[in-house]
Chain A
Amino acid sequence: MTQNIEKFDVIVVGAGPAGNAAAYTLAKAGKKVLQLERGEYPGSKNVQGAILYADALEKIIPDFRDSAPLERTVIEQRMWVMEDESYVGTTFRSDRFNQMPGNRYTIIRARFDKWFSEQVQKAGALVICEMTVIALLRDESGKVIGVEVDRDDGKIYAETVILADGVNSLVASRAGLREDIKPAAVALAVKETIFLPKETVEARFNLKGSEGVVIEMLGSISQGMAGTAFLYTNKDSISLGIGCMLSDMKAQNTTPAELLEKLKQHPSVAPLIAGGETREYAAHLIPEGGYHALPELYGEGWLLVGDSAGFVNAVHREGSNLAMTSGRLAAETLLELGEKGLPSTAANLARYKARLEDSIVLKDLKKYRNIPDTLHSQRQFLSDYPALLNGAAHEFFTVDSRDKATKEKAIFNAFRERRSLLGLLGDAYRLWRATR
C-alpha cells in the first residue's frame, strides 16, 4: 500500500488530558501530528471526578474559559474525617475564589474532553478514533519509529511517539517499556453522577450562580483500606465517588459498588443526594504508586505522559493537571529538539525529564514519595484516627454534668489506649516525614 508512506512528526497515542495537551501544543506550533484514540470518540474511555485545575490548562490554552464547558467554580473546600455516624470536618470558603480568573472548576469529562479534542483538531492535528495501537514499530537500532494499529495496512510512521494511553498503558507494557501495573500501585475508583435540579444543588450547598463545593472524605468509609471519597457539585448534578487501593480491595474481598453504596447511605452524605437520579456510573484505575513506582519516562523515540507515566498526586487528588502539564512539557521538549535540529534519541529526550523535575509534576511527587508506603504500613491513619477524632468531638460537644477536665482526660485516654504514647509520637513523626 502506498497510502502510509506518509510520515508524521509525532504520533500521540490517546486522547485524554495528557495526549490532548501534547497534541495541541505540537500542532499549534506547526508540527505534523497524528493523535490516535481507541475509543469511539475522544473522552469515551475517560473517567475523572472531575475537577479541572485552571493553571495547567491556562498554560496550554490561555483563553480556555471563553469556550470550555465548565460546570461550577469551586469556592468552598470541605474536608471530612468520617466515622460511621458522624464526621469531623473543616471548611474553607472564600469569596476570593469568585474573583476571576477562577482556580478550580468542576467539569463533566464527556463534555470537556469533546471540547478539548475540538481545540486539538482546530490547531491542526489529525485525530482518528476507534483505532487501537497494538505495537510500536522500531528500526534495526531499536528506536521507536511509529506504531502499528489494529486495522489492515496499519503501520504508521513518525519521528517520535508520545504514549498517553492511560493508567494501563497497554502499548507501553506490551512493548516492554514499563512493567504491568501492580495492584498495590493503583487505586480503583468508582463514581456516580447523580442528577438533581440546579436549584436543589444550590440550596443544599449554599451556592449561587456558578459557585461550587468540593467535599473530600476519608475515614471509616474506606473500611480500613487506603482510600478516600469525594463529592463535587456540578450545574445540575453531583459527582460522588470513592476509591481504594486495588490490593486492599482484593485483600478485603470488597467490591467498589459496595463501598459506594455505603457512602451513599452515610447519614452525612444521604441528605445531600436525596431524591437524585443516578444517570451515570463509572469506574477507573488511578495510578497511585507515586514517585517510587514511576516507570522509565522516555527512551529512543518515545515518551510517556499523564497516567501512563503514573503522574498522580494521590494526597492532593491531582492527576489531570499533572497529565496536562506533562503533555505540554513533552511537546515543548520535542519543539526544542526540532528547533535545534536534534533527533528524538533517548539522550536528547532526557530534557523531558529535566523539565518534569523542574515542574510541579515531579516536585510534588517527590515530596510525597513516602506517602503510599506510610499509608500501606500504618493503617492507623485511616482507621484509628478518624474514629478517635470523631469520638473526641462527640465527647467534647456533648454537654452533660461532667467537667471539661474529665472529658479531656477521657479523650486523651482513648487516644492512648488505641495508639499508646509512643505510638502517637511515632505517628506524628511518620506523618511529618512522609509529607516533608
Chain B
Amino acid sequence: MHIVVCIKQVPDSAQIRVHPVTNTIMRQGVPAIINPYDLFAIEAALALKDHLGGKVTVLTMGPPQAEPALRKALSFGCDEAVLVTDKLFAGADTLATSYVLASAIKTLHQETPVDLVFTGKQTIDGDTAQVGPGIAKRLELELLTYVSRIVSVDKAASSIRVERRAEGGVQVLETRLPALITMLEGSNEIRFGSAPDMFRAARAEVRVWDRNAAGIEDIKKVGLKGSPTIVSRVFVPSPRAQKAQQIEFDATNPEAATQALLDKVLAEIPKVKKELDNKRTAAGERHE
C-alpha cells in the first residue's frame, strides 16, 4: 500500500487576532499548526499502514516555512515527506492548489504506485472542502468524502469499504482503488509518536520539489494566474449592536407571560406579524 496524505500548514486560528487599528489579520507570533482536520487523515493512513504494511507519504504545497508541519507528520510515523514549493504557487485558490497537488501525486505515483490519497475534510483557514475533491477529479480517483470510518480494504480485489456520515444516518460505501478519501473530524485520535519516530522526524530529509520536480505541465494553471477566485474585500463583521431587552410580566400567570413575549416579538418583527395575520385570515376564510 502506498498512501499519500495531503496536509496544509495553517495559522492556529484560536490564536489569531484582528489588528485593532488596521483591521488586518495579525499572523505575527501566531503559531503554525497542521490543519486539525488533516490529523484525522494522517491517523487513518497510519492505521491502514499498521494493518496492511506499505508506506505513507505526506505531501503539502506551501512556503518553505511549511516544513515543520511535514516533520511533525513524520514524527507521528509517516515515512516520507514532500514539500512542493515554488514562488509561482503563491496566491493559489483551490483550483490551482488541487492542480499542483494532483501533479505532485502523479509524480509520486511514477515512483511508487499510489493506492489511496487522504485529505482532511476541509482546512480551518479556507473552509472550502474543495481541494480533496479537486484532486480526485483531476486524477480520476474514486471520491469518498466525509468518511467516518475505514471498514476494510481488500488488497486482492483492490477495493475499499468505508462508512460515511450522511444526513439522517451512516452510509456504507464500497469502491475500487485508487481512491481519495476526505476524513471527518472525530473519526480517530492522532497517535502519540514513539521516541524513535521523533528522532527520525527531527533528522529526516524533507524532499523539496519546485514546479519542475513536481511535474507541473502548465504553469498557467498554478498560483495567482491559475486562480479564478477573487477576494474582493476582507472585513471584520461588526459586533451586534442590539442590547438585550427586558420584558415585564406577571410571573404567576403563564398566559400573560406568553402574551407579553409574543407582543414584543411581533412588535420587533412586523414581517412575522404580517405573515401570521395573513395565515389567520386565510384559515378564517377556509372555516367559513
Contacts and interface: CB of A to CB of B under 8 A. Distances in A.
B194 A110 contact: no
B194 A126 contact: no
Contact of B194 (A152, A156, A277): A152
Contacts of B203: 126
A154 interface: yes
Chain B, interface residues (CB within 8 Å), range: 10 to 19
Nearest to A108: B29
B202 A153 contact: no
Interface in A166-210: 195, 197
Given A126-B203, A154-B195, A156-B195, A110 B20 contact: no
B235 interface: no
B193 interface: yes
Given A41-B31, A110-B29, A111-B29, A131 B20 contact: no
Interface string B253-282: 000000000000000000000000000000
A4 B200 CA distance: 11
Interface string B160-197: 00000000000000000000000000000000111110
Given A3-B195, A3-B196, 4 more contacts: A41-B31, A108-B29, A126-B202, A151-B194
Given A149-B195, A152-B195, A127 B21 contact: no
B195 A151 contact: yes
Contacts, number: 44
Contacts of B198: 128, 130-131, 151
Interface string A123-152: 000111011000000000000000001011
A405 interface: no
A4 B195 CA distance: 9
Interface of B: 17, 20-21, 29, 31, 75, 192-196, 198-200, 202-203
A131 B198 CA distance: 9
A279 interface: yes
Interface in A96-132: 108, 110-111, 126-128, 130-131
A156 B31 CA distance: 29
Contacts of B195: 3-4, 131, 149, 151-156
B194 A153 contact: yes
Chain A, interface residues (CB within 8 Å), range: 20 to 34
A155 B195 CA distance: 8
A228 B29 CA distance: 28
A279 B18 CA distance: 11
A261 interface: no
Nearest to A150: B192
A153 B199 CA distance: 11
B31 A40 contact: yes
Contact of A4 (B20, B31, B196, B202): B196
A131 B72 CA distance: 13
A347 interface: no
Contacts of A4: 195-196, 199
A1 interface: yes
B24 to A, nearest CB: 14
Top 3 nearest A-B pairs (CB, nearest first) are: A152-B194, A3-B196, A154-B195
Interface string A249-266: 000000000000000000
Interface string A382-401: 00000000000000000000
A128 B199 contact: yes
A318 to B, nearest CB: 26
Contacts of A110: 29
A261 B199 CA distance: 45
22 contacts: A1-B196, A3-B195, A3-B196, A4-B195, A4-B199, A40-B31, A41-B31, A108-B29, A110-B29, A126-B202, A128-B199, A128-B202, A130-B198, A149-B195, A151-B192, A151-B194, A151-B195, A151-B198, A152-B195, A153-B195, A155-B195, A197-B21
